[in-house]
Amino acid sequence: MFYREAGQYKTSYAADMAVFPLRQDRIGLGIIIAAAYALAFTKNDFLLQAVMIPFLIFSLAAIGLNLLTGYAGLLSLGTGGFMGVGAYACYKLMTAFPEVNVLVWILTSGFFAAGIGVLFGLPSLRIKGFYLAVATLAAQFFLQWAFNRVPWLVNYNVSGAIEAPLRTLFGVPIVGPNATPEVRYLVVLTLVIFLTWIASNIVRGRVGREWMAIRDMDIAAELMGIKLLNTKLLAFAASSYYCGVAGAMLVFLWYGGAEYTVFDINQSFFTLFMIIIGGLGSLIGSFFGAALIFIMPIGLGMLLPALLAPFGLSIGSETIEHLRFLIVGALIIFFLIVEPHGLARLWQIGKQKLRVWPFPY
Amino acid sequence: MSFRKLKLGAAAAVLIGATAIPALAQDSIYVPLLTYRTGPFAGSGIPIADGMHDYLRMLNERDGGIGGVKLNIEECETGYDTKKGVECYESIKGKNPAVVNPYSTGITLQLIPKAAVDKIPLLSMAYGLSPSADGNVFPWIFNPPVTYWDGASVFIKYAAEKEGGMDKLKGKKIALLHLDAPYGKEPIPLLEALSKELGFQLILYPVAAQDMQNQGAIWLNVRRDRPDWIYLQGWGAMNPTAVKEAVRNGFPIGKMVGVWWSGGDDDARAGGDQAKGYKSLDFHAVGTDFGVIKDVQKHVIDKGLSKYPKEKVGDNLYNRGIYNSMLVGEAIRTAQQITGKKAVNGEDVRKGLEALNITEARLKELGMEGFAAPVKVSCEDHNGHRKVFVAEWDGTKWVKASDWIEPMKDKVRPLIEAGAKDYAEKNTGWPKRSESCAKSS
């Protein structure tokens, strides 16, 4: 009734090819973005610092992996390592050239990750599927080893950790302990919206279509004239770029410091689960997946004691932790059974139902 | 999936969002404990968590808190995971905590820059960043009673004593078997400096976190190099594995000395009978023969207020938790004396920690005579560099095997000040100390 395209006529090719052809979608997106910016003014530090900032950063990393795995069909377990490359590159750059704005370095550090990604993407020309996953696993282990064993990367810091020095934008601190969560949230949100917009254009354009052609059948794609070498390596480069930027943001806009264990294999799995549950080959799915994997456990941690309190039950923090694991695990299985194509597909079905509501046929 | 289910899901999401943080009681002191009872390090984390909790609970039960103000003790589960630790910190930050105990070097490193901004003191008892002992650079961070560098220097002193003097160490091979992480790498700078000075050869055996339980290759190197002494800086599953491997490879177990975190009862027990003679540094006693432990047993354990198994009370790591909470309690008490306030906040407790002076007489009052050495913290020195002793595993329990040994403070302190300066330089914009130095009244 409310969500229907009746009466919206397209009078130009541009209108017909728009990312959001429905007026309601455009309004909805505008409201979501406005609401996201409005959150910065709630002054709720916990919400911003512990929930929204990491959620957006993990979403960006999930978008990065989705470009590679969801769109180009190349399975990778090196996400954590590529994120680390971005973080350490950013650290080296911002300490070597402190006069350049940190945002420039955060966006530049992605190119270093892209370079490393291309290097470790070379085997993808000969191997596919699980075998490629193992090859990228090597990248993960090697990079993690390098972060730990190459003291040059941490500027010979005794503790082996990288720390975020104070950096400002227009005189307001955005990196370092003095940066307020509100400011950092606004920076993260803007970067994530900007990069998501770029990604949505990449995947709808020629490059994205080439990736999808390779994903669906690489021999057919080759026969159509798509160069496998260039396209696959481009997928690795784009994916690693996004992961690298996410890694740099993770350290400098969220943690404020990190040791190499932040970028371990668990981070890779974490991101892979996000895109599998959110939906392979879907940008919005990356956000859904990050929300389900990251925000839901936090929500449960707050909800469970509140639910049990009226019954006079008080449970220890470790029991909550165990319950969180149980419930999140069960919900993942539930969602995958209900919709194997991920939450993004569920979202699509929901929208379809909404179109014909209240008179379904 | 039907539309109805979607609606249900949406309702659940709204509920999650609406859950408010419970209101706070004003007439209590909020003491959050970041603990880990789950995950790969739970074996070491549970005794510490229970020890910390039980002592504070005992204060509540026996004395009605500190200075008549109840302590509001709350645990937050970190799983020894930095991500969850930061989440915990964010969730407790707004509730006016008196002091934060991160209980993980990784989490401590994250919280060090935040402490000064949020005005919450950080107590990382004998772990964390060694240079944070410099109070002029780190006014909000406290790591009494010893740093890892003190520990390593005590080990060298002990080894020299057994060899027959400092000059006898020349030409000896001393190995550091360590976890390949910031925690494990901490003693390296000091050992390197000492090896140059004393002329012993330092061999490093790093153990990657994923190889903690698979140290076979490293011990092949140990057999080849034949070090005279091994200093073990491990945590969690790495310690029992190292003890087992030492026994299997025929390394004289009496010449392997662990840092205090390698001295869990279960760590040594893993080596079986042959682990007898394994040594570990320690700064507090084990067992239940102390007034304070008796009080904990009477007021907490016997009333069923603790989660800890009765028969394990007095274990090394449990007593370490007690010791940690004793520091917290004394800091709060000192803060109350200085400020004259009852319900003290983070800023007051920071002053309390700086004026902390636990004398022999005070230890006696606390029922801790012989349990630990006196501790004194000052505005410049946030550590104290207190005495440590060597404990030896006798097959069933830890026994004291040496006198209290003074660390080489003259070697450690310059390194600490240099490290702190370096930290402040690397973090441009590191605030200059503006907090005034409070004197104990």
Flag if B106 and A259 touch (Cβ within 8 Å). Answer: yes
pLDDT digits (tens, 9 = 90+) for B7-26: 555 555 444 444 433 334 45
Could you tell me how many CB contacts below 8 A there are between chain A and chain B? 134
Q: Which residues of B touch A321 (CB under 8 A)?
A: 37-38, 77, 79
Percent of chain A whose pLDDT exceeds 70: 99
- Among B90, B117, B130, whose Cβ lies nearest the Cβ of A50? B90
Residues of chain A above pLDDT 90, percent: 44
Element containing residue B175 per DSSP (H, E): strand B173-179
Residue of B405, B432, B369, B380 lying closest to B150 (CA atoms): B405
Q: In one letter, which amino acid is A225?
A: G
Scanning the structure block, which residue is given the tokens 């410091």? A257
**Tens-digit pLDDT profile for residues B282-327:** 988 888 888 889 998 989 888 888 888 888 888 888 999 999 999 9
Q: Model confidence over A83-118: pLDDT tens digits?
A: 999 999 999 998 888 888 889 999 999 999 999 999
Question: Which of the four pLDDT bands, split at 50, 70 and 90, describes residue B95?
Answer: confident
* Residue pair A177/A183 in contact by the 8 Å Cβ criterion: no
Please give, rounded to a whole number of angstroms, the shortest distance from the CA of B120 to a CA of chain A.
13
Instruction: Give the span between the Cα atoms of B139 and B119, in whole angstroms.
Output: 10
- pLDDT, residue B168, reads 86
Cβ–Cβ below 8 Å for A317 and B181: no
Instruction: Collect all residues of chain A within an 8 Å Cβ-Cβ radius of residue B422.
Output: 158
Residue written as tokens 């973080």?
A: A87
Comparison of pLDDT for B438 and B45, the residue scoring more? B45
Residues of chain A contacting B415 with CB distance shorter than 8 Å: none
* Residues B219, B140: Cα–Cα separation, whole Å: 41
Contact B94 A163 (CB under 8 A): no
Interface contact B117-A178, CB threshold 8 A: yes
pLDDT tier at A1 (50, 70, 90 boundaries)?
low
Average pLDDT in the B186-209 region? Answer: 89
Give a three-class secondary structure readout of A313-357.
CCCCHHHHHHHHHHHHHHHHHHHHHHCCCCHHHHHHHHHHHHHHC
DSSP state of B179: E
Chain B 410-439, residues with CB within 8 Å of chain A CB atoms: 419, 422-423, 426-430
Give which of B2, B3, B83, B307 to mutate to test A binding, by max A Cβ within 10 Å: B83
CA distances in angstroms from B279 to B256, B347, B388, listed in the order given:
6, 39, 13
Distance of residue B224 Cα from the nearest chain A Cα, in angstroms: 23
Q: How far apart are CA B255 and CA B277, in angstroms?
A: 8
CATH, range B148-282+390-416: 3.40.50.2300
Q: Note if the bond before A358 is cis, omega within 30 degrees.
A: yes
- Tell me if B86 and A46 make a contact (CB, 8 A cut-off): no
What is the chain B residue with the closest CA to A149? B180
Q: Nearest-CA neighbor of B187 among B168, B206, B171?
A: B206
CA distance A152 to chain B (A): 14
Is B150:B385 a contact under the CB 8 Å cutoff? yes
Which pLDDT belongs to residue B26?
52
- Residue contact B16–A350, C-beta within 8 A: no
- Looking at residue B316, its pLDDT comes to 86
- B199-228 residues touching A, CB cutoff 8 A: 208-209
Q: Is the pLDDT of residue B2 over 60?
A: no
Residues of A with Cβ-Cβ distance to B427 under 8 angstroms: 163-166, 176
pLDDT at residue A249 is higher than 90 = yes
Q: Does the pLDDT of residue B1 top 60, yes or no?
A: no
- Are B110 and A157 a contacting pair at CB < 8 A? no
Please compute the mean of the pLDDT values over residues B45-60 and round it to a whole number.
91
pLDDT at residue number B25: 42
- pLDDT for B345: 87
Q: Does residue B145 have a cis peptide bond before it, meaning omega lies within 30 degrees of 0?
A: yes
Q: What is the CA A153 to chain-centroid distance, rounded?
A: 25
Residues of A in contact with B86 (CB under 8 A): 50, 255
- Scan for tokens 């080489």, then name that residue: B408
Who has greater pLDDT, B324 or A313?
Answer: B324
- CB contacts, 8 Å: B106 with chain A: 259, 261
CB pairs under 8 A, 24+ apart, for A337-343? A338/B1, A338/B5, A339/B1, A341/A279, A341/A280, A342/A275, A342/A276, A342/A277, A342/A278, A342/A279, A342/A280, A342/A282, A342/A285, A342/A288, A342/A289, A343/A277, A343/A278, A343/A279, A343/A285, A343/A288, A343/A289, A343/A292
Q: What rounded mean pLDDT belongs to chain B? A: 85
Which residue of B48, B89, B91, B140 to mutate against A (max A Cβ within 10 Å)? Answer: B91
The residue among A4 and B204 whose pLDDT is bigger is: B204
More confident residue, B123 or B237: B123
Residue A48: closest CA among chain B residues belongs to which residue?
Answer: B90
Is B1 in contact with A159 (Cβ distance < 8 A)? no
Q: Do B129 and A322 touch (CB under 8 A)?
A: no
pLDDT of residue A192: 96
**CA dist B408 to A116, B146, B151, B162, B419, Å?**
45, 11, 9, 17, 17
Q: CATH for B28-146+287-385, among 3.40.50.720, 3.40.50.2300, 2.60.40.1180, 3.20.20.70?
A: 3.40.50.2300
Which of A194, A190, A196, A221 lies closest to A206 in space, CA to CA? Answer: A221
Percent of chain B with pLDDT over 70: 93
**pLDDT of amino acid B310:** 86
Whether chain A has a CB inside 8 Å of the CB on B131: the answer is yes
Does this model's pTM top 0.90? no
Q: Is the CB of B187 inside 8 Å of chain A's CB atoms?
A: no
- Whether the per-residue pLDDT at B438 is higher than 80: the answer is no
Measure CB to CB from residue B110 to each of A145, A256, A357 and give the nearest one.
A256
Taking an 8 Å cut-off on Cβ atoms, the answer to whether A161 and B109 are in contact is yes
pLDDT digits (tens, 9 = 90+) for B221-276: 999 999 999 999 988 788 889 998 898 888 998 899 999 988 888 888 887 788 88
The CA distance from A233 to the nearest CA of chain B, in Å, is 31
Q: Alpha helix (H) ranges present in chain A?
A: 13-16, 23-39, 45, 53-65, 79-96, 102-121, 129-149, 181-204, 206-216, 218-223, 228-249, 265-278, 283-290, 296-308, 317-338, 343-356
Determine how many CB atoms are found less than 10 A away from the CB of residue A347: 18
What residue of B is the nearest CA neighbor of A322?
B38
Per-residue pLDDT, averaged over B178-195, amounts to 86
Are residues A256 and B182, on separate chains, in Cβ contact within 8 Å?
Answer: no
Chain A contact for B96, CB < 8 A? no
d(CA A105, CA B289): 59
Residues A161, B182: C-beta atoms closer than 8 Å: yes
- For chain B, the domains span 28-146+287-385, 148-282+390-416
- From chain B, the residues in CB contact with A322 under 8 A are 38
Nearest residue on chain B to A254, alpha-carbon basis: B86
Select from A147, A159, A294 the residue whose CB has the most chain B CBs within 10 Å, as the one to mutate to test that interface.
A159
User: By mean pLDDT, which of A73-87, B70-84, B220-234 is the weakest?
Assistant: B70-84
Q: What is the CATH number of domain A43-356?
A: 1.10.3470
Average pLDDT of chain A to the nearest whole number:
88
CB contact under 8 A, A316 and B307: yes
Orientation angle between helical segments A228-249 and A181-204, nearest 10 degrees: 170
Instruction: Please give the Cα distance from B246 to B219 (Å, whole number).
Output: 8
Cβ within 8 Å, pair A177-B114: yes
Q: For B422-437, what is each residue's pLDDT tens digit?
A: 888 877 677 788 777 7
Contact flag B429-A166 (C-beta cutoff 8 Å): yes
DSSP B197-251: HH-PEEEEEEE-GGGTT--HHHHHHHHHH--SEEEEE--TTHHHHHHHHHHHTT-
Q: What pLDDT was estimated at residue A340?
A: 83
